[in-house]
Amino acid sequence: MTNIEDFGGGQHTPDVLVVTTNDVPGHRVDRVIGEIFGLTVRSRNIGSQLGASFKSLAGGELKGLTKTLVESRNQAMDRLIEQARSRGANAVLAMRFDVTEAGGNGTEICAYGTAVVITPAG
């Protein structure tokens, strides 16, 4: 049985809010700290690679590669949050992911956004 936690991500840190929007409803931005990112480069697992090669013949989801990508994105996100925290931010606005090939041997995953300090409005 597939566990949804194996194929999903998301934030689990109460002290740093990460959003893909440019603002947080009901909050004001008190200070913009600046651009931050979290980066990881992952090589392909030979077992997953072989399994993906065989699976691609029949079609369908490549679950091993999907799980690896989720883990990589979560690691990049953890590094983004740690950088925000270390700079005194309590939120990251306009967070995005960028995924690129890294020299044909792996995949680079970068989570980036704008570190800010927010407070409830009003």
CATH number at residue 100: 3.30.110.70
Residue-level pLDDT at 46: 54
Within 13 Å, how many C-alpha atoms sit on residue 68's CB side?
A: 19
The predicted pLDDT at position 102 comes to 76
Residue 37 lies in a domain: yes
In the chain, the DSSP E strands lie at: 17-18, 27-43, 91-101, 106-120
- Residue 4 included in any domain: no
pLDDT of the residue at 107 = 86
pLDDT at 24: 96
* Tens-digit pLDDT profile for residues 25-59: 999 999 999 999 999 998 865 555 555 555 566 67
> Is position 1 within any domain?
no
20 domain residue, yes or no:
yes
Number of domains in the chain: 1
Strand order in the sheet with 17-18: 17-18, 91-101, 106-120, 27-43
In terms of residue numbers, what domain contains 107? 13-120
Q: In this structure, is residue 94 part of a structural domain? A: yes
Q: Which parts of the chain sit beneath pLDDT 50?
A: 1
Q: How far apart are the C-alpha atoms of 67 and 64, rounded to whole Å?
A: 5
63-86 and 46-58 are packed helices; what angle lies between their axes, rounded to 10 degrees? 130
Asked if 72 and 48 count as a contact pair (C-beta separation under 8 A), the reply is no
Establish if 65 belongs to a structural domain: yes
Question: Encoding tokens for residue 1?
Answer: 């049985």
Is the residue at 87 inside a domain?
yes
State the pLDDT at residue 2: 55
